[in-house]
Structure 1
Amino acid sequence: MLPNKVAIDIIRKYMARFEKGEDIENFRKDLIRDLLNHNLLVKTEDGTYTLVSECKEELMHSRIGALRESIEKFVIPSDLRSMKNPKILDLCSGIGYNSIGALHYNKNCRIDMVECCKEVLFLSLCLDMPYEEHNIIKDRIKNFLEGDASRSDINIYLEDGRSAIKKLEGRYNVVFHDAFSPQRDAVLYTVDFLREVYKKMDDDGVLISYSSSIPFRSALVEAGFIISEGNSVGRKRGITIAYKNPSPDRKIRRIPLTDERLIAISTVGVPYRDPNLNLSHEEIIKNRNFERMIFKKKLLELGRYYSTKNVKLGKIDRKFLEIQKLDLNSTQVILKMREILGV
């Protein structure tokens, strides 16, 4: 999912001036005004800006604040401040809010920014933000757009996350998974992509996502992550926090009991898949729908099918409910429930 096409066209017009060598200060305010006049750039409640997406009724960030969302959904839950020289993978880095926030909380961060839209990166050069670390990100983006491909503590990969993940060196302590919602674009929410991310993470690594999607959380479990839930920010459901190999003393908050059941024994829990990391969103959704149909058929044959409503209400075999009473994390609960389900 990309920003609105008209917004991209407007940004390209000003990018052409930059590419010809003109100083950004000569036109950056004109670009902002142009986008605002077309209702394609929105000022959020914390004073920072976000773009309207391809789907005109949706924004690229929450109205509560683009920078606030970054800090409260990604930076603080990752516990960056306590880490020494953390290495971060910023997936779908966009304007750069997550990377800016990370540097604000820990100046020793090493960051790989992955973004598929050059125009969004360029827009960051034209915006003002309250954190001085924005200047660090702006300098790196500017150098990158001018052709500097050298490696540094902050690197930019202008490509689909699925192709980028294969070439990245990895050993990430933190992954900011900030892709657009899986309902709109599921390509970075598949079991197969998340397995690649898992491989690139340090043993103590943590992945943070604003999404609480059931198929996404199911995919994380299948990819090997220990899933948990963080606080909600600007929405009803909490964020997703997924660990590769958490230490025994780490307190891991379980996801809602309803979610555990839906992931483990309901067709809603069938994850997204993309075996060769090359399918479109539409193909991924079509394949998942087919897999759900096959899964439902198997459950019916075994006499173990429960409607989504009954799963949510807990009107299921008590064996599953007893597992949820155990002192386990959500991933362990889900795997035990699936074992009993036997499919």
Structure 2
Amino acid sequence: MKMKNNSVYKPLKVQKKVLEIVDECFKKENNGDMDARSVAFDDLKEFLIETGDGSYTIKSEVSEGSSETMHTHHGGLDESLEKYVKPSHLTEKKDVHVLDICSGLGYTTAVCLEYLNNETNPEICIDMVEISPLTLATGLIIPSPVKSHEIVKKAIEDKLFSTGFLKFRTIKEKIPDNIKLNIHITDARELVKNYGFTKETSQNPAKESVNSNESIDKSNTYDAIFLAPFSPGISPELYSLEFLKGLKSMLKNDGMFLTYTAASAVRYAIIKTGLYVGEGPRFGRSGGTLASPLLVNIEKPLSSRDERMVALSDAGTPFRDFTLNDSSIEISERRQNERKIARKDYKFASTVKSPIYLCNDIKIEDRLMRRVLKDIRRLGFEDLESEKSKYIVCPQYRECICGSKCEPLENSSERVIEMEKRLNKIMEYGNIPE
């Protein structure tokens, strides 16, 4: 299949009508209407969705027939706290440096400040990255759900004022001396390509850098990286293997990488960057994914089923964006084509979930059993308990089941890599290698 040529990258943003209201709001304010923000909030109410913790969220534009909210209905603040901030081990550090990608309304950064800025007052530096100035501006209109969001609003307002987007600064909140917020209005892929993207100025005027072209030191930089775009199906450009490799290079040796998604394609890509991967805390119905260069930071491995689907099925096929310039359409179509090839030639079909039934005492109804057997036999596996089946899933067992006297592997990343390697060997040689 020939992929569509879409040279103009159009990132997914919040609903068009919302952005139109916000844009009109600040045009009026820039012309002297100092009530524009409160009026805009009234206009936005029909588009705002109040979540379980009292914070607001907004829907995205429609993409391929569907849209998503920026935050879970269970609570945008609580989700940020449970899936990003708490698992990051940041309370153990005196100086904290965080990269918040797709900062949106500023909730995750606000929750991070609220959680960390206590009586110990650690030095906190957060780089917020958001491609849409109008999305950031929306955060100025929505009421602050926690006190620290006022600090974030102040940083956003200062940034938008410095760029000429705003002509007035109305927020009186002061940014504490121990907090530094750098806001970058850019495609997050640009910072990865540059690795040393310009830190134009701090958002605290009292701490502005003398050198406005100062760049991030090209050594391991961040204690935590929060990745919070829309889902991989909608914003694949921020989940590609190449993008995640770039983020990995910006992580400290004991740092944490966290994202709310549990998609197999993303977990596979994270593993291929060389990070240890694990299950993120559950919030609402789902858990996310966390990763680190340091194994001890991974408290909970992936489930056995998830490891198998990542390693052995086409679901683990990663998104690829070789130049970090492709459109979401190009990236998605590339992966679709690669998945078709994988299903045909060297991976089990994710639709059938065949890997989870290999050497597993799970009752299967007859119709499903026929589909599973058809799928595994397509790749030369006789049955679910065959020697080949035992060979490829053996890395998950404490005691060797394949007869090769295998040593147990202690983490999900190593098990996924080894299972995939074994499947590849069978596909190459047609049998278990000697």
- After superposition, residues 95-110 of structure 1 pair within 5 angstroms as 95-107=105-117, 108-110=123-125
Matched with 2:57 is 50
Distance 1:122 1:286 in 2: 33
1:154 aligns with 2:226: no
**Closer/same/farther in 2, CA of residues 113 and 52 from structure 1, 3 Å limit:** same
What is aligned with 1:81?
91
The 5 A counterparts of 1:187-336 are 187-235=237-285, 237-243=286-292, 245-246=293-294, 249-299=296-346, 305=348, 308-314=352-358, 316=384, 317-325=389-397, 326-336=408-418
Distance 1:126 1:305 in 2: 49
Aligned length: 330
1:50–1:60: 8 Å Cα contact kept in structure 2? yes
Cα gap change, 1:330/1:22 in structure 2, threshold over 3 Å: closer, same or farther? same
Contact in 1 for aligned 2:278/2:291 (Cα 8 Å)? yes
Q: Distance in 2 between matches of 1:327 and 1:21?
A: 65
The equivalent of 1:113 in structure 2 is 128
Q: 1:181 to 1:251 in 2, by over 3 A?
A: closer
Give, in whole Å, the separation in 2 of the partners of 1:103 and 1:18: 29
Task: Show the counterpart of 1:33.
Answer: 42
Deviations 1:185-208 (A, max 9, x none): 211000000001011111111111
The 8 Å contact of residues 114 and 164 in structure 1, kept in 2 or not, is answered as no
1:61 is matched with 71
Q: Distance in 1 between matches of 2:344 and 2:69?
A: 38
Query: Secondary structure at 1:285's aligned position in 2?
Result: helix
Residues 409 and 415, structure 2, Cα contact 8 Å, conserved in 1: no
* Partner Cα separation in structure 2 for residue 125 and residue 251 of structure 1: 36
Cα 1:171–1:337 change in 2 (3 A) is same
Structure 1 range deviating more: 190-199 or 156-165: 156-165
**In the TM superposition, what whole-angstrom CA distance separates every residue of 1:157-201 from its partner, at most 9, and x where no partner exists?**
111111123234260110000010011121100000000101111
C-alpha contact (below 8 Å) 2:276/2:298 kept by paired residues: no
Letter in 2 for 1:206: M
1:18 positional shift: 3.4
Structure 2 gap ranges (5+): 1-11, 118-122, 165-178, 198-215, 360-383, 398-407, 426-434
Once the two structures are aligned, what percentage of the paired residues are identical? 31
Q: State the alpha-carbon separation in 2 of the partners of residues 112 and 85 from structure 1.
A: 14
Task: Evaluate the alpha carbon distance shift between residue 287 and residue 306 of structure 1 in structure 2; reply closer, same or farther with a 3 A threshold.
Answer: closer
1:132 aligned partner: 147
Q: Which amino acid aligns with 1:161?
A: A
Partners of 1:115 and 1:157 within 8 A in 2: yes
Give the whole-Å Cα distance in 2 for the aligned partners of 1:2 and 1:128.
20
Which is further off, 224-233 or 159-168?
Answer: 159-168
- The two structures, once aligned, show a CA RMSD in angstroms of 2.0
TM-score, normalisation: structure 1:
0.90
Aligned residue among 207, 232, 239 for 1:182: 232
TM-score, reference length from structure 2: 0.72
User: Residues of 2 paired with 1:231 and 1:139: CA distance?
Assistant: 31
- Quote the offset at 1:329 in angstroms: 0.8
Inter-CA distance 251–91: structure 2 relative to 1 (3 Å threshold): closer
Shift of 1:239: 1.1
AA aligned to 1:264 is: A
Q: How big is each residue's C-alpha offset from its partner over 1:110-129, in whole Å with a ceiling of 9 and x where there is no partner? A: 00000011111112122222
Which residue does the alignment assign to 2:421? 339
Which protein shows a greater Rg?
2
Q: Deviations over 1:244-294 (max 9, x none)?
A: x215x4453111111111111111111111000011111111111221223
> How has the CA–CA distance of structure 1 residues 33 and 269 changed in structure 2, closer, same or farther, with 3 Å as cutoff?
same
Distance 1:73 1:207, change over 3 A: same
Relative to structure 1, is the Cα distance of residues 207 and 18 closer, same or farther in structure 2, using a 3 angstrom cutoff?
A: farther
Q: SS in structure 1 opposite 2:54? A: coil
